Structure 1
Amino acid sequence: MQYSRLRNIIWLTLTFVIFIMIFLVFKYIIVGYHENIHGQVEFIKNSKYILTSFIVFISLVIFLLVTYFLKRIEILDREIRLKDSLLTNNSKLVEMGGLIDNIAHQWKQPLSIISIVISDLKVKKEFNQLTDELIDNAIEISLNNINYQAQTIDDFRNFYKSDKKEENFTLEKVFDLNMKLIGSTLKNNNVKVDLNIDDIRIYGLKNELVQAILNILNNSNDVFSKKNNQSDNYIMISALKKTEYAIIIIHDNAGGIPDEYLDKVFINHFTTKKDSGGTGVGLFVSREIIVKNMLGKLNVKNEGIFYKNKKYLGAKFIIELPLA
């Protein structure tokens, strides 16, 4: 988009310059001819025509060359955007296995509830204790749990939609979807999430922002999963307005990132988890989405965190996004 705008500006500028040059040529010819007729001055010297014609010719050559190179830049820009899109999709595919496990876990509870309700109806029928009220209650409970399962699938499907449509959305919805996608996985590792999200609206690609934040949360979860399910696992998430930006802070107490890796975590394919199948794509994609697609900032540092009167060390991711 930026290259296309630059190309149009340069193209219009060159067109204007060439128009002026051609205008000057005709002006010299007409004025010179007019002055020669009245015998007031000698006809403009041939050198002026030659110089002006040469300038017009050079301008045309430059115009054609610049147009060619701008076209090449546009093609390269399109290829880069295609590559970025493929990286984002690959990152989603990498996370898909974990998300499917998460959905399966989310489905277990409602399926168990439906199973208990049906079993209870069967027992009540055998003992002739079945009433219309019990049946209606069982139907209501079952439908509520079925709707919950359907909503889980809809959330998952919407997250993986390939169409990119910019829209106004709230950060509350972004984190609500993130918790639906990864909440059960975090719970399995005894990770408690503390959310403090202000009412903030953002304009952009909602699913891509969900993906960027999901990658950060998965990064924390991977570290927690290696800590033998200790009880004090926390992720503190806050979002607040600051002038024209929304500031999102994701701060865990997983021990932080080794200092020698802090300036490398956003590099494509850099990973310290090769033995466990890490690809090094997640955080790179997060920065690409936030910086390039949403014109924001993403940084990380190690910082102490207090929770329940106890101090921990953890990685603190700071996201800045323009307000809608």
Structure 2
Amino acid sequence: MSNKITQILLNEIVNLSKKSDKKLAEKIQTVLDFYITEQKENQKTIKQNEYFLKQWDKRNIIAHERDAKKDKLLEQQSRLASMGEMIDAIAHQWKQPLNSMSMMSDMMQEDFENGLVNSAYVKEFNDTVHMQIDHMVSTLHEFRTFFRPSTKNEEFTIQDAMNSVGILMKDELISQNILLDIDIDSEIKIFGNQNEFKHLFINLINNSIDSFNDKNINHRNINIRCYEENTNIYIEVEDNAGGIPNEVIKDIFKPNVTTKPEGKGTGIGLYMSEQIVKKNHGTINVYNTAAGAFFTITLRQATI
């Protein structure tokens, strides 16, 4: 009932009461005056609340925009850090085939002078050179694909994403004397941004590599498993690098939290890993085993 109609009814009650009883009319008038005062106070309170809600909404919008800018900046920093690491890995991977081709060229000159060069020799030389070049081209392709900006979501297998990471990091893992054991169901597919998942795997592997080096561990193993159970996809990444310090592990996915010495780590990698998982409607957790860190990623198939 509107205030206008209510006021009309109250006035009618007052007028009727005046005809019947003066004291009753006075009491009703008192009640009416009190009601009118309360109504005015209520209207004042409502306006104040509306004002505060508007201000609150403005602050929330500003805070949301500020957080979005911060996340974008952190993402850019993470990609730049990964790019630096990948450039080092590419340089390392290219160094070996270039050295091999250079050495083969020198040997060919010497063998030619000794009369050892024939058609079979040239064919073997040609095949070997092309194999080395193919390896370099494949590495460059994966590098360009990984860093090409893309918001495209597509269906892909976890195994394909991991195979690409393996090409990018193969020589780095060999040089670091790390045994990478992969057990991924080849049929598991998800819908999302494949480059982001490559980024996720690289972040976790690099995290293990840094931990191995910081603690001077000789026998180095990283195990990556992926399997389906009920309606979930589980990705597990386990190493024997000694684990994450207890005082840090609860905050390890927060930005700028790192176990690395000053100047050697930004703390962005694991934060961005969590953002990638959340974007794909999943969760990521970590705990320490007797040997090292154990990361578990859970993806809900129905919502990806």
**Band of TM-score, shorter chain:** 0.7 to 0.9
Tell me the residue number matched to 1:4: none
Give the 3 Å change call, closer, same or farther, for CA 119–203 of structure 1 in structure 2. Answer: same
Q: Which amino acid aligns with 1:221?
A: I
In structure 2, C-alpha distance between the alignment counterparts of 1:183 and 1:176, rounded to whole Å: 10
1:211 equivalent among 182, 192, 199: 199
Q: For residue 280 of structure 2, what is the aligned residue in structure 1?
A: 294
Q: Counterpart of 2:143 in 1: which secondary structure?
A: helix
**Does structure 1 conserve the Cα–Cα contact (< 8 Å) formed by 2:257 and 2:267?**
yes
C-alpha RMSD of matched pairs (Å): 3.1
Instruction: Indicate yes or no: 2:199 matched with 1:221.
Output: no
Distance 1:70 1:140 in 2: 67
8 Å CA contact 2:182–2:223 kept in 1: the answer is yes
The number of aligned residues is: 260
1:314 offset after TM fit, Å? 1.0
Contact persistence 1:300–1:318 (CA under 8 A)? yes
- CA distance in 2 between partners of 1:82 and 1:157 (Å): 26
Shift of residue 81 of structure 1? Answer: 4.4
Identity %: 33
CA offset at residue 67 of structure 1?
Answer: 11
TM-score for the superposition, normalised by structure 1: 0.71
1:129 Cα offset (Å): 3.1
Gap runs ≥5 in structure 1: 1-45, 51-65, 305-312
Paired residues for 1:79-118 under 5 Å: 80-118=67-105
Residue 206 of structure 1: how far off its partner (Å): 1.0
Query: Aligned to 2:157, which of 157, 166, 170?
Result: 170
Which runs of at least 4 in structure 1 moved beyond 4 Å after TM superposition? 66-82
Shift, 1:179, TM fit:
2.1
Partner of 2:126: 139
Question: Which ranges in structure 2 are unaligned for 5 or more consecutive residues?
Answer: 9-52
Please report the TM-score for the alignment, with normalisation by the length of structure 2: 0.75
> Does 2:302 align with 1:314?
no
Greater Cα offset, 150-159 or 102-111: 102-111
Deviations 1:226-283 (A, max 9, x none): 23351x2111110001122210000111111122222110111112324242111111
3-state SS in 1 of match to 2:262:
helix
8 Å Cα contact 2:179/2:220 also seen in 1: yes
Aligned partners of 1:71 and 1:242: how far apart in 2?
44
- For the Cα contact (< 8 Å) 2:154–2:194, is it kept in 1? yes
- Residue 22 (structure 2) aligns with: none
Q: 2:271 aligns with which of 281, 284, 289?
A: 284
